[in-house]
Amino acid sequence: MRIVVRAFMTMFVCSAAVVHAQDFKKQVIYQIVTDRFYDGDRSNDNPGESPGLFDATRKNWQAYWGGDFAGIEQKLGYIKGMGATAIWISPVVNNENLNCATAGISGPYHSYWNRDFMNIEEHFGDNTNSFAAFDKLVGSLHANGMKMIVDQANNHSNPRNCGEKGSLYNNGTLMASVDNDPKGYFHHNPNVPDNGWDDRYLIQYYTLSDLADLNQENPDIDAYLKSSAALLQSHGVDAFRLDAVKHATWGWEYSFANSVFSNRPSFLFGEWIFGGPGDALYPDAEKFANQSGISLLDFGMNNAMRDVFGGDKPFARLDAVINTEDKDFTYPNDLVTFFDSHDQSRLLNLKNNRDRLHEAMAFLLTARGVPVILYGDEQYLFDTGNDGKDPNNRVWMSTFSTNTKAYKLVGKLAALRQANDALAYGLWKQRWMNDDVYIYERQFFGDVVLVAINKSGTASYPISGLFTSLPAGSYPDYLGGMLSGSKLTVSAGSGGNDAAADVTIKPHSVSVWQSIVPASGPQVGSIGPHVGQPGMTVTVAGDGFGTATGSILFGSAAATIGAWTNSSVRFSVPSVSNGSYDVQLKSSAGAAANTIRFTVLAAKLVPVTFTVRKAIPTNPGDYVFLAGNTVELGNWGTTFQTAVGPMLTPDHPDWFLNVSVPAGQTVEFKFIVIRKDGSVQWEGGSNHTFAVPAGGTGSVDVNWQP
Ligand code: NOJ
Ligand code: NOJ
């Protein structure tokens, strides 16, 4: 494995100098199920390595239908023309080759049944599993100023109960299968039971729907998964959507993110399914997003949007979710937002009403977060079979019209995201609401976007008493009446509350009013990643930085600047002590911007499994946590959000947890119990110490000190 890693490093040095900004807030992501999009290369439809999994008639929903990288590349003009600036595609690495059905076909067309994370799926590329077609696609994307987001499934390989039985390969060399696993590459546990989905141990260590569960604490698997990501990065991948992050080992994922960010700038967002802020593991999701550097798909907003636009719930449902999440997530503008996905029935299945689809799209593209449009929504595609659920939501992209209203709507609002920083970086404020009408504002310094949506098909609403941060003036509907919007007149008020003249909002309408004020000084809207060790490359984005190089300060320490433009600065984290910093950008003239929060790690992260045996008695709702002397260990924090944990206790009263800690450092720590009522009980004795290895993985096993 070591040799492989070194080969990748050489590739980094040789690869062309593409600028990879970590700031994804200005992106509009187009999600593609690669197999279902466009068949650009007939020669890979039924490849020799895995014959018989293809259905040329496109009737068997569990078979490959022919879509491939060449097809996406051929349709790049269509995708770019819609205003999308990034694509998120199915996992690209090699899938299992055998049929998983005894009658008919069940194949990995969706690409989540990987066998070899070190080369490319032959149905998408070519018969030799080479990177050629993938590289060509990435090259075309970058030439068009677009970004490549690859779906990566670290949790599992392929099904253990059919086909190749989980078999895992390292660029063609068999490593193990579930039935022949001498080195412990897999967890061999039952499926997560129906009542186990809120159990922190079961969801990480049991098996997700018979998908062979990888053991990320094993040093070979740790190196393998990180090498796979590095390999893809060396082929130009700009960002990853991480599959099933709730089911892989959480602590290990911090080190995975750190490994990706240490290779080169990137953006990471994970699939952590949660119903909303009331979900049992919502506090864990919040902590994970705030600390790991991995942002999350916003399932809270997704559920609320589907209830409101795909059903008839009032806007208060959506408003409540956004208000709560904006308080809980440190970087809400980094959450990745969506109302449709390849795992859900499409909005048109929930409510076959194109006006509602347009309203949902307009909301998504103006709300906070990085928006994702699922392929085919802009063509109003949906299939009614199986209630439109998986697999019938993965429709064939049968038409590529550039004249649909949805296609044009995405284009208009994607352009606004580039032009008006309020959409990418702005705060969120509700300005007026009833069951059918939602008026909200985004604001970033002088840049303001005010949006009014009426989702009723019949009721017009006269709106009075509306206030806004838009300056006094007269505002046409930015959408030019595309969705029946109105114009707005604003008169001067005070304290960011200017009075809007009474306005009538028509049924099924969206109005967008906006104003841009050139920055008079530096304004910071983004930092990415928001956690890393000294030396890591980080990007700050915003406006008004000036063209002459200024400074980036961590306390009194200045970072080394790699590149400086009026809207973005690339720098490397200075050698300061670990902890949380309010990073300060100053223009060359010394004008100070607003600060933005960044966590400096003590060193690169190494995953270590901490075990404490014979802990003191606990009652239901009490948990053992880990507290320690570096930021990775919570700097002796003793609350749910600041200590490390909760730890897991399948063998009570022993507790364990995999935690990413600073490589090569000797850390001090203790175990604590945080009781249900929040009170804290410390272990006795002196602090434990542990010399973290310089690389690989580690483990430490101690008894609770009474
Ligand atoms: C979530 C993905 O989105 C879904 O499509 C997939 O089947 C599972 N994870 C397992 O990889
Ligand atoms: C924090 C640490 O200094 C630890 O060593 C100590 O046990 C606790 N405080 C309790 O005093």
Residue nearest to atom 9 of ligand 2 (CA): 636
% residues pLDDT > 70 (the chain):
97
Residue nearest to atom 4 of ligand 1 (CA): 343
Q: Which atom of ligand 2 is nearest to the CA of 682?
A: 10
**Does the pLDDT at position 15 exceed 50?**
no
Q: Is the dihedral of CA 213, 216, 218, 222 positive or negative?
A: positive
Ligand whose nearest atom lies closest to the CA of 705: 2
Q: What is the pLDDT of residues 347-393, one digit of tens each?
A: 999 999 999 999 999 999 999 999 999 999 999 999 999 999 999 99
Which of 636, 672, 686 has the most ligand 2 atoms within 8 A of CB, as the residue to mutate? Answer: 636
CA dihedral 191, 196, 197, 198 (to 10 degrees): -150
Alpha carbon separation from 240 to 89, 261, 295, 450 (Å, rounded): 10, 11, 10, 32
- Banded pLDDT at 23 (limits 50, 70, 90): confident
- Banded pLDDT at 421 (limits 50, 70, 90): very high
Does residue 244 have its Cβ closer than 6 Å to ligand 1?
yes
What pLDDT is stored for residue 20 in this prediction? 40
Beta bridge partners of 609: 658, 699
Coil, strand, or helix at residue 243? coil
Question: Which two tokens mark 239?
Answer: 């960002």
Tell me which H or E stretch contains 276: none
Tell me which H or E stretch contains 231: helix 219-234
Does residue 209 have its Cβ closer than 6 Å to ligand 1?
no
Distance 682 CA to ligand 2 centre (A): 8
- Banded pLDDT at 508 (limits 50, 70, 90): very high
What pLDDT is stored for residue 18 in this prediction? 34
Distance 113 CA to ligand 1 centre (A): 9
**Does the pLDDT at position 172 exceed 90?**
yes
- Banded pLDDT at 681 (limits 50, 70, 90): very high
Question: Residue for token digits 């239908």?
Answer: 65
| Catalytic residue list | 243, 271
Question: Which two tokens mark 480?
Answer: 């030019």
Ligand whose nearest atom lies closest to the CA of 633: 2
pTM: 0.95
What pLDDT is stored for residue 13 in this prediction? 32
**DSSP annotation of 589:** T
Q: Which atom of ligand 2 is nearest to the CA of 668?
A: 5
Does residue 670 have its Cβ closer than 6 Å to ligand 2?
yes
Q: What is the pLDDT of residues 87-144, one digit of tens each?
A: 999 999 999 999 999 999 999 999 999 999 999 999 999 999 999 999 999 999 999 9
Residue nearest to atom 11 of ligand 2 (CA): 682
What pLDDT is stored for residue 549 in this prediction? 98
What pLDDT is stored for residue 22 in this prediction? 61
Give the end-to-end CA distance of the chain in Å, rounded to a whole number: 42
**Does the pLDDT at position 3 exceed 80?**
no
Nearest to 256 by CA among 246, 274, 268, 273: 268
Residue nearest to atom 5 of ligand 1 (CA): 343
